[in-house]
Structure formats: structure tokens, C-alpha cells
Structure 1
Amino acid sequence: MPTPLDEKTRSIILATVPALKAHGLAITEEMYKRLLVRPEIRDLFNESHQRDLEQPRALALAVLAYAQNINDLGRLGGMVERIAEKHVGLNILPEHYPFVADALLGAIAHVLGDAATPEIMDAWGKAYWFLADVLIGREKQIYDEHEQAPGGWKGWRAFKVRARRQETPEIASFDLVPADGGALFRHKAGQYLSFRLDIPGHGSQRRNYSISSAPGADHYRITVRHHELGLVSSWLHENVHEGDTLLAANPAGDFFLEETASSPVVFLTAGVGLTPIVSMLEDLCGTKAARAIRYVHGADTRELAAFVPEITALAADNVLSADFFYARDSVQDEASQKGVTRHAGRISTEWLRGAVDPTATYYICGPEGFMQDMIGTLRDAGLPAAQIRYEIFGSATNPELVL
């Protein structure tokens, strides 16, 4: 374990909180400018998250949270675990950390100018390396667990596209099997795969996609929405077909189904946020767990809602109850189906307040604004944090979601 930070260092870090609130985004923007001039580092990042400042905003919030909680770092356990899992998915290694240290400390000195005294720079150097050592240690544990597990591997592994299906006009699923014909690591329902993709004219790209198939299958399935301005999603939809090969890292992620629980479960999703949830649902159905299941999903239209036939079949078999919300469709003339209720409009906080089950565990995934509304409503209803679980697609830019 890293040596704990001394009281003087922690006091200095805490004293920089006002400066981080005022200049945190400027610091992280400057940090990425310095960091991404190195090709070996630049290729590890999602370029689109730099263009829209999503990554710098997320890092600024994480740095601020670190400083604010420097005397009670136990509060940051969930954040640290998410970062470690993301790093493992991207194959971040110990040798990458000095580059980040140089860029971050250089950015702090550049943005704060004379206010970045030698004492402040020394304290932030110590604070950075303390957290870096925590992450390096945790990431090594995860790497070792993956490599030693049946079907596990280290680094990037080639997968062939065994099948491709168009789920909706905008969403496609890809079934992936190991190109070497070897065994497949059993993921936890809800985790994702990280991919290293070489796209002509754009070089090496990294992306994460949730696994939408159940653990224990002979393949991984990813289900990807085609974003019109999305470089990688467009390339996957337009260029990747059966027989093609993709490079993936071991499954990662800290959002997964609690398999030993017996309480009711509510899956609350919108848009393509259903992808990790479908894996959880298939896992529950495959193990025939005796849990009450409610599936709640919002989409713009019926045509754009994926996996509806599969969900309605499960409802007809009394496996679950389902609520479908369609923002731009009328449901007045819809024929009723066993176990399925259709609603016009989006999933609202008012509807959720009237439907809260205080005994259930909620798994939530969707656009950030949707998740903020749903999580806030459940918290206001008195549900403890252990019963509210969620996945963030991309980088968290809301302080509540960061922690």
C-alpha cells in the first residue's frame, strides 16, 4: 500500500480547492494539450471527448473531488474503482503514469502562475503519486485476475465477427468469437469491452461498448447505436461485417449485476442505455433466479426501441413485467399484451415517484440528464445508495455522478 499523505500535504491540497473550483477546467484542458502531443499517449484517448471537452470536464471534477475529500479518501472508493476498471479496459500501464504527472503538474503551474508556489507544487506532486500508486496497484490486481482466469488474456486479443444483426434502423448487434478458437473469459453481466480500432484516415481509436449477451455464452455480443457524427460508430455500422476481425481487451467495468441478491430488481433505461441491462436480464433468466423483475425502457419511437420482441416474450412467460415509453408515438390504439404496459411520452420523475418499490434494487443506464433525474428521484424517495446502481456512458460531467 502507498504511504499515506502527511497532514501538511493534505492541508495544502485542501487549501487549493477554491483555485480548483475557479480554474479546474482550464488546468485539465492545458494538461490534455500537453499530454496528447505524445502519439503513444494520444492513441489511448477518445478524440471526440476532447473536442467537446467531456474528458477535461470529467477529469476536473475528479481532481476537485480528490482535493475536497483528501482527509476522507474512503468516500472516493467507487470513483477510484471506476477509473481503475476503465484503465484496465484501455490497457493503461504503469509506464504511462509519469507522462500524466508531467502534464498535470505542468498545467497547474502554467494556469495558476505565481500562485503555484513550490509548496503547492510539491504537495500536488505527492498527492498525484499517492493516487497513481493506488490505481497502479489495483489495476495490477485486475490484470492478474483476468490473465489467470479461464479464457482470460492480457493486452489485445483478436475477435472475429461471427454474426451481425440490425436490431433497429440505428442499432446493430455484433457477435464476437475468439479468432484463436480458445476459451472465452466469463464476464460479469453489465461489463463492457474496450476496442483498439485502426480507422483509415483517423489512425488508432479506443472505444468501450457494453456486452449485451449473458455471461457464459460462447461469444460476446455488443450492441452499437449509429451516431451520425460518431466516427467509430459510423465506421462499425458501415464497414464491419461477418468475418471481419476486431481487437478487444478483457471485459471490464464496475457496473454489474449483484448475482447473490434476492430482492426485486428494476431495470430503468433509455435509448441505447439498455445494452448492459440486456446482459443482466439474460443472466437472470438463464439462472432462473427467483426475483421479481420490472423492465422500464424509454425510446423515441417503437421502431427505435431494441430488443422489444425478446422483452415482450419474457413478459408473456411471466418472467418479468415491462413498461415501454415512446416519446413520439401514440399508444392509444396499441393492442394489449400480457405483462406489458405502453406509455406515451418520456419516463418522467412524476411517473417514477408513483412507481418506486422501496425493496427493489435499481439498475439505471441512459443519457446523463435522464440518469440525474432518475437517481435524484430515487434518492428523494429514501432509497439507500446500495439500491441505486448506474452506468455512465462516456465521462461523468456531473459531480453527483462522479462520486
Structure 2
Amino acid sequence: MRIEIVQSTAPVLKQHSEQIGKKFYELLFAKAPDLYNLFNQTNQKRGLQQEALGYAVYAAGEHITNLDAIMPVITRVTQKHRAIGVKPEQYPLVGETLLEAVKEVLESAATDDIIGAWGKAYEYIADAFIQIEQDLYKEAKEQAGGWEGFRSFTVTRKVAESDDVTSFYLEPSDKQALAGFEPGQYLTIKAEVPGEKYKHIRHYSLSDAPGKSYYRISVKRERSNEGKPAGIISNDLHDRIQEGDSLLFSTPAGDFTLDHTDDHLVLIGGGIGVTPLMSMINTVADQSPDREVT
């Protein structure tokens, strides 16, 4: 009965997903302002995270009896959760706040039966996410050159690629081994910016092939545009961070990776979106120089 309630009301949540997402984050940050350290505040202002949350809730409810159907979404989310350091003990607060947001947006339409059914659904989904993320944490720490949490890296080179894009070459400050990665994956930075109250976490694609003595990220300066705020971290990296400075990163993560199997590789991207493709094509050049690439 609870499953039927969840599946039948999922389209209603989808219809109101934007309002639910906005209300959720408003309530969450009021309860736990320290979570500002975890979420991208620029994306919050742009409404991107609110949209993503609404879609994820709808999709999970619709496929509650077969989460494998949305495994690509689950994989993407759990990879990001591991990269930013989401912990199991944070899930109950998120669930409680999500149900409060649903009740506030749907008002009398959110009956006790509906809220109860979605509460059980959330517990089931959260358990699945937690298990996957625990495996990812273990894998990240125990791999050769891996580490737990955020590790200090020194900027050994800073190279201007264009007016708006700069590459940063990063080597472990402790001079110890460097974990490998799959071409297409990203690094996650935790940065403190002078004048900013909270820490900031961002994902930046690795833009060179694995197997080097360094990681490389290539960052576009995000300027304010048509009412959209300027990127806090991208501008700080461009303006303040210099060679010799240290930055904190978690182990490489991400599910968008190079397919090593097909004979013909097609890479499609534009703008700063080519950064993961640079990692892929440099890897092909190193490892499979005869492979056909478009």
C-alpha cells in the first residue's frame, strides 16, 4: 500500500519539484547553517541544486520498486556525495526536512498517509545510498596512493590557456604516492576564500591523462552574466592562488569516463566542457595511439 501511494504521488511531487526544492534548502540551512560549507552557494543562487533535488526525489519515488532503473542517477549522486564528504548521520536530517518541505508546499494534499509512505521510501532509498557511499569511501582510501577526506596539494605550475581558462598543476604536499583515476573524472576542492564566511566545495574535471606525477585541472573564470553571480572559487583561483600555494582536494571521483572498448571513439564537447575530453584524448594518445578518434 505504501509503495502504491509513493508511485501514485510521485508525479505530484514532480509538478511541484521546484517549490519543494526551494523550501527544502531554506528549511535545511535554517536548521543546520554549517551545511553551507557543503553546498555550492553559486548553484544555490542559480537554482540548479533545487532543480536537481526535485528530479531526484521524483525519480526515486517513481522507481521505488526497481532502483536499478535509475542507477545512472544514483551512481552520479553517490560519487558526488563521496567526493564532498556526505556522512550517514546527515541523512536523517535531510529526510526530516524533505518531508517538512513537501507538507509546506502541498499543504492539505499531503495527508498523513502520503507523508508516512514517503518517509518509509526515503529510509529505504537512504540506506541504499549509504551502503554505496561506504563502499566508495573504502575504495578511495584503500587504493594505491588513495586517502581519506581532503589532502593538501601544492600548485607547482599555473598556466594561462586563454583569457578565461587557467590550468593548475597539483602535486601532493606530502610528496607521497598519487592515486590513479579514470579519464573523465574530476577533483573536488574544499577552499577557504578571504572574506567568505563558509568554506566552498567545487568539482573540477581532471584535464590530463592519468599516470603523471601531478594532477591537472583547467578552470574557467566564471564572470557575472545576465544577473548570474560570478564564480567565487574560479575567480579566487585565477586571481589569488599562485605557484607554491596549497589547496585541499578529495580523491578523484565521477562516473563520466572513457570507454576503452570501442575501436572508434567520438568525443563531443564545447567550451570549458572539453576539459574531461582532454583527459580522454591524452590518454588515448598515450595508451592507444592507433585508435580512431573523432
Question: Could you state the TM-score of these two structures normalised by the residue count of structure 2?
Answer: 0.94
One-letter code of the match for 1:28? G
Q: Which has the higher contact order (CA 8 A, sep 6+)?
A: 2
Residue 227 of structure 2: aligned partner:
none
One-letter code of the match for 1:232? I
- CA–CA separation in structure 1 for the residues paired with 2:204 and 2:107: 40
Cα offsets for 1:19-71 (capped at 9, x unmatched) = 21332211111110011231332210000111111110111111112222234
Residue 207 of structure 2: aligned partner:
212
**Is 1:13 the counterpart of 2:6 in the alignment?**
yes
Identity, in percent, stands at: 37
- Among residues 22, 25, 44, which one is paired with 2:18 in the alignment? 25
RMSD: 1.2
Residue 180 of structure 1: aligned partner:
174
- CA–CA separation in structure 1 for the residues paired with 2:241 and 2:112: 52
Cα drift, residue 194 of structure 1: 0.6
- CA–CA separation in structure 2 for the residues paired with 1:120 and 1:82: 28
Question: Could you state the TM-score of these two structures normalised by the residue count of structure 1?
Answer: 0.69
Cα drift, residue 95 of structure 1: 1.3
Residue 170 of structure 1: aligned partner:
164
One-letter code of the match for 1:245? S
Alignment partner of 1:251: what SS? strand
- CA–CA separation in structure 1 for the residues paired with 2:158 and 2:268: 26
> Counterparts in 2 of 1:1-400, with a 5 A limit?
8-37=1-30, 38-202=32-196, 203-228=198-223, 229-259=230-260, 261-294=261-294
Q: Is the 8 A contact 1:193 1:251 kept in 2?
A: yes
- CA–CA separation in structure 1 for the residues paired with 2:243 and 2:57: 43
One-letter code of the match for 2:232? L
Report which of the two has the higher share of helix. Answer: 2
Alignment partner of 1:151: what SS? coil
- CA–CA separation in structure 1 for the residues paired with 2:15 and 2:126: 24
Mean Cα deviation higher: 191-200 or 56-65: 56-65
- CA–CA separation in structure 2 for the residues paired with 1:42 and 1:123: 29
Residue 322 of structure 1: aligned partner:
none
One-letter code of the match for 1:133? D
One-letter code of the match for 1:106? E
Q: Could you say which structure has the larger radius of gyration?
A: 1
- CA–CA separation in structure 2 for the residues paired with 1:149 and 1:143: 10
One-letter code of the match for 2:142? Q
Q: Is the 8 A contact 1:167 1:173 kept in 2?
A: yes
Moved over 6 A (4+): none
Q: Give the count of matched residue pairs.
A: 286
- CA–CA separation in structure 2 for the residues paired with 1:258 and 1:19: 38
- CA–CA separation in structure 2 for the residues paired with 1:73 and 1:147: 27
Cα drift, residue 289 of structure 1: 5.0
Alignment partner of 1:267: what SS? coil
Q: Is the 8 A contact 1:35 1:42 kept in 2?
A: no
Alignment partner of 2:120: what SS? helix
- CA–CA separation in structure 2 for the residues paired with 1:79 and 1:289: 33
Alignment partner of 1:247: what SS? strand
Alignment partner of 2:14: what SS? helix
Mean Cα deviation higher: 229-238 or 60-69: 60-69
Q: Is the 8 A contact 2:148 2:250 kept in 1?
A: yes
For structure 1, the 5+ residue unaligned runs are 1-7, 295-403
Cα offsets for 1:259-308 (capped at 9, x unmatched) = 2x1420011110001101111111111113542011xxxxxxxxxxxxxx
- CA–CA separation in structure 2 for the residues paired with 1:195 and 1:130: 30
Cα drift, residue 18 of structure 1: 3.5
